[in-house]
Amino acid sequence: MYVGPNHCMKCGKPLDEENGELCFDCEKTRHVYDQGAAVFQYSQGIKQSIYRFKYNGCRDFADWYGEEMYRICQEQLKLWTPQVIIPVPLHVSKERIRGYNQAELIAVELGKRSGIRVDSNILKRSRATTPMKSLNDQQRSENVEKAFIICQNSIKYRKVILVDDIYTTGSTIDACARVLKKAGVDKVYCLSLCVGKGI
């Protein structure tokens, strides 16, 4: 199921109220990133599809994911005008086991269609984190707080877009945005393939 036009202005989560602006999370949380959007609601069909994409080696699903992300979010991309797409990194040990970073595969497909360059060497995950689904909100933030590092001495980009497969509380995107902004990036946007529903 697609997110549709009725969504949070900050994170892109679908809203129940027709004229609402912010979801419950964004009303109480001050995010570090500037704005985000997502393609699908994280419901049954896409959940299974992403599971196969991540854990059953179905990496060719990225082609369709990238196409849908571009189709749904191209107007947003025109407004944001990002100079580079940065996939949310996996820790190297995890990537070695899986054989690929699922966010990077989606980012590459989005890059092909939008003409925006993709750079996977700017941001790295400095340590393996505990799987997020086993943690509460507070633990999630602590878990990702120091998980990302910048791998270049200077970043030439001022507007970047992060790409990930699933957006939940935004703590991962905020942690990435924090290090990018510290390194001189002005605007950090994010596109996620799926997003959980706002309360």
| Closest C-alpha among 11, 15, 10 to residue 198 | 15
Minimum gap (Å) between residue 20 Cβ and Zn ion: 10
What is the largest distance, in Å, between two alpha-carbon atoms of the chain? Answer: 45
By CB under 5 A, is residue 8 in contact with Zn ion? yes
Which of 54/187 has CB closer to Zn ion?
Answer: 187
Instruction: Return d(Cα 107, Cα 118) in angstroms, integer.
Output: 7
Per-residue interface string for the shown chain with Zn ion, residues 18-57, x marking contact by CB under 5 A: -----x--x-------------------------------
C-alpha distances in Å from residue 72, one per residue of 38, 59, 150: 9, 21, 30
How near is the Cβ of 92 to Zn ion at its closest, in Å?
31
Q: Does 185 bind Zn ion (CB under 5 A)?
A: no
195 binds Zn ion (CB under 5 A): no
- By CB under 5 A, tell whether 11 contacts Zn ion: yes
At closest approach, how far in Å is the CB of 53 from Zn ion? 25
d(CA 79, CA 89): 25
User: What is the Cα–Cα distance from 90 to 102, expressed in whole angstroms?
Assistant: 9
The two structure tokens encoding residue 34: 């500037």
Region binding Zn ion by CB under 5 A among candidate stretches 11-19, 134-142, 153-161, 180-188: 11-19
* Nearest Cα to Cα of residue 144 among 182, 180, 170, 106: 170
Per CB under 5 A, which of residues 77..116 are in contact with Zn ion?
none
User: Does 190 sit near Zn ion (CB under 5 A)?
Assistant: no
Which residues of this chain interact with Zn ion, rule CB under 5 A?
A: 8, 10-11, 13, 23, 26
